[in-house]
């Protein structure tokens, strides 16, 4: 009976990276790290990548060539990681959010 699995370390690493990057004052540094992680995830997640490519091919019925499908899949990985790391803003992003003013109306 295994109490700790490789996936557990993966999730711990991702949570640590998210928290660590949130301490970074620079959105540019955050963006660079997120792009590196997305690229690494694309190359390391062969099974997931192939499943996405197969589903994409089926959904688009061969509308795109291999290069275009690969680029779309890379963008999917990139968007996922950008969204994941957007959950905790950097110090500069938090300061900008504090200065922001939201206005609007409600409708019923």
**For the chain, domain boundaries:** 45-77
CB 42 within 8 A of CB 74: yes
**pLDDT given for residue 2 in this prediction:** 67
Per-residue pLDDT in tens (0 to 9) along the chain, 108 residues: 567 777 778 778 877 877 777 777 777 887 888 888 888 889 888 899 999 988 988 888 878 888 888 899 999 999 998 888 877 777 777 788 889 887 888 877
Contacts for 18 with CB less than 8 Å, ≥ 6 apart:
84, 85, 87, 88
Please state, in angstroms and rounded to a whole number, the distance separating the CA atoms of residues 80 and 12.
17
Here the tokens at position 1 are 């009976």
- DSSP 8-class letter at 11: H
CB 19 within 8 A of CB 88: yes
Contacts for 33 with CB less than 8 Å, ≥ 6 apart:
17, 21, 24, 85
**pLDDT given for residue 107 in this prediction:** 77
Cα–Cα–Cα angle for 11, 12, 17, rounded to 5 degrees: 95
**pLDDT given for residue 33 in this prediction:** 83
């Amino acid at each position: 009976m295994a109490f700790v699995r490789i996936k557990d370390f993966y999730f711990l690493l991702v949570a640590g990276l998210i928290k660590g990057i949130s301490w970074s004052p620079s959105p540019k540094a955050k963006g660079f790290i997120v792009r590196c992680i997305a690229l690494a995830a694309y190359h390391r997640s062969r099974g997931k990548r192939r499943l996405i490519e197969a589903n994409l091919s089926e959904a688009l019925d061969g509308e795109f060539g291999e290069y275009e499908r690969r680029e779309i899949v890379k963008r999917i990985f990139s968007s996922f990681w950008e969204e994941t790391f957007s959950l905790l803003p950097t110090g500069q992003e938090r300061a900008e959010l504090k200065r922001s003013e939201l206005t609007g109306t409600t409708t019923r």
